């Protein structure tokens, strides 16, 4: 590790001000950022801790019935809430207890690791990512591997999830990291089904639209039996699994998620 300063603002406004400084980086639970610093993949001179901001902690429902989760809310708190079964189930299997009690939903979405679980939930739910400056639809938020629509110094303060009729998340775990080798989030709403895939593609989390169309007509695992998940050069191909293997897992995990949701 190297020397850096830590600022602990008392409000979102103070945090935004601190983030405007040269080479400042937001620090949520640190479950992704600290290992990144240790590997020298990032080296900010100042970390701005968001962990103590009570404005960004908590879970409630808004007037539209959406589940609103503060950006500094931990995975463990989301897992324990239970208001959105598919989301709580996903949160309960992130990492291990230590990670779940420190890591935050805002930190995960801001980092947008291509194998993280929360991006699949946000995209699969059609969630809205709220920052100190604006609201961003999940379909517009995820731009690529580790890339999001966040501007420099912008902070995720809240995430709003429409609660579906049915939902489930299935993850094929990479045992060493506990990240998803492939994870699929399925959510059925009155106006249609959304299927979001994480861990499989070099472009990061994405929707499987062919599966959505099939499931809109027949919400059962049989509906995707004749489909093949996209494969080829865009799929992650590494020592943990080939692109074709990951494409196979996308179909398998989607079928399991639909069956479990049903």
| Per-residue pLDDT, 51 | 84
Tell me the pTM: 0.94
Q: Is the pLDDT of residue 21 over 80?
A: no
CA–CA distance, 93 with 219 (Å, rounded to integer): 25
Q: Give residue 247's pLDDT.
A: 95
Residue 2's pLDDT band (boundaries 50, 70, 90)? low
Find the Cα–Cα–Cα–Cα dihedral 147, 34, 185, 224, rounded to 10°: 70
Rounded Cα distance between 211 and 227, Å, is 7
User: Does pLDDT of 178 surpass 90?
Assistant: no
Q: What are the tokens at 228?
A: 């093949």
Q: Tell me, what's the pLDDT at 90?
A: 98
Task: Supply the mean pLDDT for the chain.
Answer: 93
pLDDT at 238 over 70: yes
pLDDT digits (tens, 9 = 90+) for 40-95: 767 777 888 898 799 999 999 999 999 999 999 999 999 999 999 999 999 999 99
Q: What is the pLDDT of residue 1?
A: 62
Q: CA angle, 189 as apex, 187 and 192 as ends, to 5°?
A: 95
Work out the average pLDDT over 93-111. 95
Which residues share a beta bridge with 262?
none
Token look-up 């989390």 returns 205
* Domains of the chain by start residue, with CATH: 1-49 (3.30.43.10), 166-260 (3.30.390.50)
For residue 260, what pLDDT is reported? 98
- Give the tokens for residue 2: 């190297």
Point out the least confidently predicted range of 1-5, 18-22, 74-78, 229-233: 1-5
Q: Is the confidence at residue 34, as pLDDT, over 80?
A: no
């Amino acid at each position: 590790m190297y020397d850096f300063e830590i600022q602990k603002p008392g409000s979102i406004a103070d945090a935004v001000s601190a983030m405007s400084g040269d080479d400042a980086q937001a620090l949520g639970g640190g479950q992704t950022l600290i290992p990144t610093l240790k590997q020298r993949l990032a080296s900010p001179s100042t970390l701005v801790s968001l962990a103590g901001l009570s404005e960004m902690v908590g879970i409630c429902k808004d007037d539209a019935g959406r589940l609103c989760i503060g950006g500094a809310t931990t995975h463990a708190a989301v897992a324990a809430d239970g208001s959105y079964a598919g989301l709580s189930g996903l949160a309960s299997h992130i990492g291990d207890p230590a990670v779940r009690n420190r890591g935050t939903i805002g930190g995960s979405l801001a980092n947008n690791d291509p194998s993280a679980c929360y991006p699949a939930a946000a995209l699969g739910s059609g969630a809205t990512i709220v920052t100190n400056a604006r609201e961003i639809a999940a379909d517009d938020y995820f731009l690529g591997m580790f890339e999001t629509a966040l501007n420099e110094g912008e902070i995720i303060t809240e995430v709003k999830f429409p609660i579906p009729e049915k939902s489930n998340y299935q993850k094929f775990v990479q045992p060493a990291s506990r990240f998803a080798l492939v994870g699929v989030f399925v959510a059925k709403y009155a106006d249609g089904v959304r299927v979001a895939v994480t861990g499989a593609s070099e472009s990061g989390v994405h929707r499987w639209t062919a599966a959505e169309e099939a499931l809109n007509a027949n919400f059962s695992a049989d509906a995707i039996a004749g489909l093949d998940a996209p494969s080829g050069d865009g799929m992650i191909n590494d020592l943990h699994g080939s692109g074709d293997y990951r494409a196979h897992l996308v179909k398998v995990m989607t079928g399991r998620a639909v069956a479990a949701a049903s």
